[in-house]
Structure 1
Amino acid sequence: MLSTCRRLRVLGLNGINIEVIPRTLSNISHLSYLDLSGNHVVEMLPESITRLHNLQVLCLRSCWNLKELPKDLSTLVNLRQLDISYCNNLGQKPVGMETLTNLCKLARFVLGAVSSKQAHIGQLRDLIPLNNLRGQLEIYFRKGYMYDTTSTEEETYLLNKKHIKELRIVEEDLHFHRDPFVIDERLLGRLEPHCDLMKISIDRYTGIKLPSWGVTLGISFPLLVKVSLKHFPRLQHLPPLSRLQHLKYLELRHMLFLEYMEEGDNVAVVTSFPSLEELILDDLPNMKIFPKYDAIVDLKSLLIDNVMLLTSLFGESLRSIRDLTLSHLEVEDLEFWTKLENEEAMPWTTLHSLLVLRLGNVDQMVSQPSGIKYLNSLRSIDICFCGNFEIFPEWSQSLTSLRALIIQFCPKLKSLPEYILPSLTELYINN
């Protein structure tokens, strides 16, 4: 039937779970928009699609089992949008994509294992002519990618992409995958973005220190609103980020040797981070100090997991916070828990706007920290994986604003006090 629709310009076959894309699509020569998204079973596209020379938009979003793109995709010189986001089984991109200079949207650029190192270099170099790319770009390194460390070429692949506002640099994370990380200091250095970047996420980096552009992250990229850095197992120091006046989201995860947030250990209190709303500090066991800033007044969400930063975070400089959510609070070490119990060390009484509190993996907790009784605005408590938690204290009845109670994997808890139940609108108990 499709072969008879020769004047069709727009075709949507999204979400209909077809197994094979018909080859007769190539007969619709005027087609400019083709949406195949959400067809989870499709593994390959017919090569005949590359004869649709008027095609401007090809949407393959969430084609989960798609394994490769047509080899002659580079012949679609009028293509402006290629959406392959959430195509998690897609291998490396086809050769010759540097000819698609009209591309404005390329949500994901996949780099995988091929037969020669030189081909890998060619893959990255394909980004250089694509100066019309805009919006979001994810560069995804699959397992088996080999970066040619012997090459003397030093060109940067992204520096001229001034319209890219969000950059994600990700290395494939396979469970129990022990191979060394691909993204090292030299490779990351050649992925330097344009200074107008607004959001950056880097997942898995093997360097001890950041490349030159990363060292000046807090100065050279003044428009940043989001910074996410995860799985930096050897990094010891992070650059000063206190000058990022528009930063709303800061995420630091899995940095085993990170010691300082700023240069050195003599960090003065400065007026900074006026826009920060969400802060995530997860698995930073050797971090000695998180700087005290006297201008973090809009913080809404805080996640801490197994870090010794309580005094630094909740010192005098943060007592004026207006809106704070302790999100996914997970504490494991005894000293940290002792400070949570100490009403003088933990300024519970100042957290007037706290709405949500989550406590997870707190083996020392038999009952809730006594300071919680001062949280008059608290609406939700989530307690999970607390193996010794067994009782709600009597002062829990003072939490008159509490509406949601979530308890999971707390085997010693035998009952709930009746005075809590009448005010609840949500109660979830699991294991």
Structure 2
Amino acid sequence: MGWLQQLKPLSDVADKIGGFLFNLAWSKGTRLWNVEEEAEKLRRTEKRIRALLRDAEEHRYIDDESVKLWLLELKSVAYDAETLLDRLTTFTAVARLESAEPSRKRKRSWLNLQLGPRQRWGLDAKITEINERLDEIARGRKRFKFQPGDAARRAQPGQRPRFVEVAACHDESSQIFGRAKEKEEVVQALLSDHTIPLPVISIYGAAGIGKTTLARLVYNNAEVQSSFPTRIWVCLSDKCDVTKATKMIMEAITKVKCDALSLDILQQQLQEHLSTTKFLLVIDNLWAEDYNFWELLRCPLLAGEKGSKVLITTRNERVWRRTTSTILPVHLKGLDDEECWLLLKKYAFLHGQGRENDALSKTGRMIAADCRGSPLAAKSLGMLLSDTNGEEEEWLNISNQMRILNEDNNRILPSLQISYHHLPYHLKQLFTLCCLFPVGHEFEKDEVIRLWIAEGLIQCNARRRLEAEAGRFFDELLWRSFFETSGSSTNQRYRVPSLMNELASLVSKSECLCIEPGNLQGGINRDLVRYVSILCQKDELLELTMICNYENIRILKLSTEVRISLKCVPSELFHKLSCLRTLEMSNSELEELPESVGCLTHLRYIGLRKTLIKRLPDSVSTLFNLQTLDLRECYRLTELPEELSRLVNLRHLDLHLEWDRMVPIPMPRGIDKLTSLQTLSRFTVTADAEGYCNMKELKDINIRGELCLLKLESATHENAGESKLSEKQYVENLMLQWSYNNNQAVDESMRVIESLRPHSKLRSLWVDWYPGENFPGWMGESSFTYLENLRICDCRNSRLLPSFGELPKLKKLHLGGMHSLQSMGTLLGFPSLEVLTLWDMPNLQTWCDSEEAELPKLKELYISHCPRLQNVTNLPRELAKLEIDNCGMLCSLPGLQHLHDLVVRRGNDQLIGWISELMSLTSLTLMHSTETMDIQQLQQLSALKRLKIGGFKQLSSVSDNSGMEALSSLEFLEISSCTELQRFSVVGLQSLKDFKLRHCTKLEALPTGLGNLGSLRCVEIHDIPNLRIDNTGTVLPDSVSYLTLSGCPDLESWCRNTGAQRVKKIPNVKIGF
């Protein structure tokens, strides 16, 4: 057990001396030992070390092994001094709090943060040791001829080039060099017709050669955008499996989180989404050499419409050569010297930073020639040269450094080493932590920023928050190409380019350890390791005891793309790893943390996102330095530590954000003490008598981002007003939720919501289960000029809607569960509304009170469970998608001749008849609409490409002349749950590519003409037990490449016996699963 666990409690002493600032003295000879004095001395020592370290680092190229060892020792002293100083600073701050808070009011003391005589001796000896080591190291500087003040020559934070102003240079489509031919080839390949299913274009090349840039140029090409209605971009890490890759594709399409865990379910969902569209899928950074990976991933992609294609980038030649259906293999070579010079020059003289002359041009061309054809190198060096303001001597120095490093034949491009070594010291430190990320790993900006802050790499700035200052540094590293954006999701994500990832590993190789379970690297000096990243695979059992001997580590991070099997953390681990600042255990099956986590005096960051944690140990409340507690998507969490308010340095309390999956967790009292708190994603309101946190405690907390207020029936309008929500200008998304069947008085609820007026900069508002009869006046005010999304749900007493049409930026309006609403009111205004959803409004009768409605930009309309609604008038011609479900009195919707996508569930005969007038329809879904169904009503829809029919219990036959043959453009057809269907014909549907048949229990034969459909690619048949095979004709056409069967005994038997040879020719088959 370490000395922190053996300390004698000082709480009683601190209470008694109250007026002193932890000024406990203990005699050692003739001098007094005072914590603050020693802390100040150590602080001065630590500053000396940092200055010396900065000077050493500014000597950019260190090849002498003795110098490298000297530098490692210097860093080691720096870490030790910082850790000791952090302990002393913590002791002082804790004592101040303890003295101000009598022990009788505390249920738990900071026992591990107090100092007794024995520990004072140890700390005194440690300070002496650090000073002696520093003196020895300082003598080494003279031996190596380092000059003091070298670092002053380099730019300091805040004096860097105007990278924010030149952010436009990230637009790679603005000007390209040397890739026009390749770009044109790839674009033409994408736009051309091909006979093989799912053609693939693969771009292969070395790291940093411009594969992703070329793919992005093509992806954003205007012709490509117009040719592919659906474009998908995913970036895969080198450890990604098929399930994870499929889920990423699904999320990129739907823009929402995918919860499906089974690969079969994921593939069915993906196939469903792709079957109605022509898509372009870009798979950036494909690593998987396993042939089965691509074949499995490819299966659902085959369902896409004709012309769908896949574009792959890879640095793995095996992947490039083994990817099936490749129509254009592009082996991307380096740029020539002239092209490198043009690219380098573009950034070197950006925004007039220096002027080109003959001398600079000559030197610049020499530098460009040493880039070895790498666009990443040329761009990175160009940005570096822009810092010099055109000084010829600096350009020559960089050219000489390039030549020296080229002679060493380093594996990492010399230009990237130079770009790194020329970074100011603070940016070097920040970039070094990127060694923790696996190749291809995507991350959010805030994730990295919080990691930097936890590591103490961001200094306080009176003008900016720590997060804002770190954000500036992040943007600069992005501008310098140490990071790059990823196009795989709607929320902006980033990654470290693969070459930069190698560079980060190189410069941190003594300090960072990336390990895999059962494969612990040997030959590592354990005392030097500060950062550990554990790379885990799916279902891999993880034992953390293997890192117990790395006692100096500051960051412990699980790096995984899938949830890993880690149930618990051994208690002794935290006794060993007393220097930890970041504990990142997200995406694991962790159910609990041991109480020993309270021993981690220096801990700033706990990441438990997507774990199975149910409660946190009480000792978490003693983590005085904790800044971030990430509990997002912890759906089993039921409570927070009772003394959470003692975490006075907490900046971010992330609780799960999926509002429709939240269980109210009471908030402990004292939240108002957390004055540094910026993130508090949810807050459960409780009555004063319940003993939990009160709403008025939010008064002085400057919350940012998202805030959800739960159980508002417990609020009073006085407390609601005291929360001062209207002053929280950085809250962008707000949810106001009452509980189901709450008993709050109607008048009081109206006063509460009136008192909860948010700041006018709000972007999204959700009101749920509000019991009042009227909405507050502020809800429809035009002053909310930023509000884009508004959702009102289950407000069952509300009779009138506010004037939402006055909201100038409102794009999405969702209204549901409003049982007392009879009219939508005056639908005037709505200058920006694109999506309108109405559901569960049993008494809604009138679409609009006036004769006219204004919804000029409405593109999508969803109406569900509005049984008394009779008409919907004056819809815009631009409306593209309409869904109607269980609206029994709705007979027609005139003026929709340009509608493309229509879904009708549980409609009446008149509505079905009206559909025949919609000549522009390309997609139609009819489910459970009437007891009878006449297919001839659809034969006028010649543009129809997708048709789903289901639940028509009286539909018994679809014959050859039923009118189905008139649907010559039909590419997707699904028939389901037509329990009386006995005969079905697909004769004449020569464009049909995807056919699905489900739950038609009386059908005894395959559809007539199925074997003659030359375009048919995908066939799915499920749960048709009486289906028999007639061997006299062609069962399946040769074009079929995807076959799925279940619940069809005779057809399955045919596939295994008589038709086995035919089925073997089908690339993707699933039978009887």
- What TM-score do you get using the length of structure 2 for normalisation? 0.34
Whole-angstrom distance in 1 between the partners of 2:935 and 2:772: 40
- Residue of structure 2 equivalent to 1:4: 576
Cα drift, residue 421 of structure 1: 9.1
Asked if 1:366 corresponds to 2:932, the answer is yes
Cα drift, residue 335 of structure 1: 5.2
- Residue of structure 1 equivalent to 2:885: 330
Cα drift, residue 326 of structure 1: 2.1
1:11-410 mapped onto 2 (5 Å cutoff):
11-40=583-612, 42-85=613-656, 88-89=662-663, 91-112=665-686, 116=689, 123-131=694-702, 133-141=703-711, 146-148=714-716, 154-155=721-722, 157-173=724-740, 178-180=741-743, 184-214=749-779, 217-262=780-825, 267=826, 270=828, 272-291=829-848, 292-309=852-869, 311-313=871-873, 315=874, 317-318=875-876, 320-321=877-878, 323-327=879-883, 329-334=884-889, 336=891, 337-343=908-914, 348-349=917-918, 352=920, 354=921, 356-362=923-929, 364-367=930-933, 373=939, 375=941, 378-383=944-949, 394-406=962-974, 409-410=977-978
Whole-angstrom distance in 1 between the partners of 2:706 and 2:972: 36
Q: CA, structure 1 residues 417+259, in 2 after alignment: closer, same or farther (shift >3 Å)? A: same
- Using the TM superposition, name which of 296-305 and 19-28 deviates more: 296-305
SS in structure 1 at match of 2:963? helix
Give the conservation status (yes or no) of the 8 Å contact 1:137–1:166.
Answer: yes
Q: Which amino acid aligns with 1:137?
A: L
Whole-angstrom distance in 2 between the partners of 1:38 and 1:74: 24
For these two proteins, the number of residue pairs brought into alignment is 401
Whole-angstrom distance in 2 between the partners of 1:428 and 1:185: 52
Whole-angstrom distance in 1 between the partners of 2:934 and 2:808: 37
Give the conservation status (yes or no) of the 8 Å contact 1:226–1:247.
Answer: yes
Q: CA, structure 1 residues 89+168, in 2 after alignment: closer, same or farther (shift >3 Å)? A: closer
Q: From the two aligned structures, give the one with the greater helix fraction.
A: 2
Q: From the two aligned structures, give the one with the greater strand fraction.
A: 1
Deviation string 1:126-161 (CA, Å, 9 cap, x unpaired) is 222112x1112111228xx63457x69854541111
Give the conservation status (yes or no) of the 8 Å contact 2:969–2:991.
Answer: no
Cα drift, residue 287 of structure 1: 2.5
Q: Which amino acid aligns with 1:207?
A: G
- Stretches of structure 1 that go unaligned for 5 or more consecutive residues are none
Whole-angstrom distance in 2 between the partners of 1:47 and 1:236: 47
Q: Which amino acid aligns with 1:32?
A: R
Q: Which amino acid aligns with 2:800?
A: H
Cα RMSD over matched residues?
3.4
Whole-angstrom distance in 2 between the partners of 1:187 and 1:24: 43
Whole-angstrom distance in 2 between the partners of 1:39 and 1:33: 16
Q: Which amino acid aligns with 1:417?
A: S
Whole-angstrom distance in 2 between the partners of 1:152 and 1:12: 37
Whole-angstrom distance in 2 between the partners of 1:371 and 1:72: 68
Cα drift, residue 296 of structure 1: 2.8
SS in structure 2 at match of 1:228? strand
Larger Rg: 2
Q: Which amino acid aligns with 1:55?
A: L
Whole-angstrom distance in 2 between the partners of 1:206 and 1:5: 52
Cα drift, residue 412 of structure 1: 3.9
Give the conservation status (yes or no) of the 8 Å contact 1:325–1:356.
Answer: no
Asked if 1:418 corresponds to 2:986, the answer is yes
Q: CA, structure 1 residues 380+76, in 2 after alignment: closer, same or farther (shift >3 Å)? A: farther
Give the conservation status (yes or no) of the 8 Å contact 1:59–1:84.
Answer: yes
Q: CA, structure 1 residues 392+367, in 2 after alignment: closer, same or farther (shift >3 Å)? A: farther
Q: Which amino acid aligns with 2:666?
A: Q
Give the conservation status (yes or no) of the 8 Å contact 2:648–2:673.
Answer: yes
Whole-angstrom distance in 2 between the partners of 1:425 and 1:380: 9
Whole-angstrom distance in 1 between the partners of 2:710 and 2:715: 13
Cα drift, residue 34 of structure 1: 0.8
Q: Which amino acid aligns with 2:689?
A: S
- Using the TM superposition, name which of 1-10 and 411-420 deviates more: 411-420
Cα drift, residue 197 of structure 1: 1.0
- Residue of structure 2 equivalent to 1:427: 996
Cα drift, residue 373 of structure 1: 4.9
Give the conservation status (yes or no) of the 8 Å contact 2:870–2:890.
Answer: no
Whole-angstrom distance in 2 between the partners of 1:261 and 1:224: 20
SS in structure 2 at match of 1:418? coil
Whole-angstrom distance in 1 between the partners of 2:966 and 2:863: 25
Q: CA, structure 1 residues 115+224, in 2 after alignment: closer, same or farther (shift >3 Å)? A: closer
Q: CA, structure 1 residues 223+289, in 2 after alignment: closer, same or farther (shift >3 Å)? A: farther
Runs of 4+ with deviation above 6 angstroms? 368-371
Cα drift, residue 378 of structure 1: 4.5
Give the conservation status (yes or no) of the 8 Å contact 2:694–2:719.
Answer: no
Percent identity, please. Answer: 25
Deviation string 1:222-242 (CA, Å, 9 cap, x unpaired) is 222111111121111102222
Q: Which amino acid aligns with 1:340?
A: L
Q: Which amino acid aligns with 2:714?
A: M
Give the conservation status (yes or no) of the 8 Å contact 2:720–2:755.
Answer: no
SS in structure 2 at match of 1:312? coil
Q: Which amino acid aligns with 2:617?
A: P
Whole-angstrom distance in 2 between the partners of 1:242 and 1:259: 18
Give the conservation status (yes or no) of the 8 Å contact 1:282–1:307.
Answer: no
